[in-house]
């Protein structure tokens, strides 16, 4: 399981989106949001950056220190929306990550 550190401002989550049939998700005409929560906090929704070339399905979100304010298990999913219709066309499985305290 991947780890993040509380208050870290140099961490990012990068993903390659793959359709159920095994092909890469073409992000042309789409946006992506990272939806996540840490422990029992409310879900946050953050706009992800699309990485060129868009037909390679790669997205990333650079965490700010405030995004990783709490220790616990992070539950995260990526939601893809069709730009022209505003329709959510895909959601990833919920993945789990550890957000651990800083070691001194």
CB 25 within 8 A of CB 18: yes
Angle at 20 between CA 38 and CA 24, to 5 degrees: 90
Backbone φ, ψ for residue 67 (5° rounding): -70, -25
The domains of the chain are located at 3-100
pLDDT digits over 17-56, tens only? Answer: 998 899 999 999 999 999 999 999 999 999 999 999 999 9
CB atoms under 10 Å from CB of 53, counted, come to 12
For domain 3-100, the question of CATH label 2.60.40.10 is answered with yes
**Beta carbons within 8 Å of 16's beta carbon, 6+ residues apart:** 24, 56, 57, 58
pLDDT digits over 48-94, tens only? Answer: 999 999 999 999 999 999 999 999 999 999 999 999 999 999 888 89
More confident residue, 102 or 95: 95
Mean pLDDT of the chain: 93
pLDDT at 1 over 80: no
């Amino acid at each position: 399981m991947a780890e993040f550190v509380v208050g870290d401002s140099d961490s990012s989550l990068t993903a390659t989106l793959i359709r159920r049939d095994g092909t890469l998700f073409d992000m042309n005409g789409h946006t992506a949001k990272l939806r996540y929560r840490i422990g029992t906090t409310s879900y946050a929704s953050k706009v992800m950056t699309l990485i060129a070339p868009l037909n390679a399905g790669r997205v990333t979100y650079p965490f700010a220190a405030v995004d990783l304010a709490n220790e616990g298990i992070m539950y995260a999913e990526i939601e893809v929306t069709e730009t022209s219709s505003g329709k959510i066309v895909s959601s990833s499985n919920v993945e789990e990550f550890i957000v651990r305290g800083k070691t001194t």
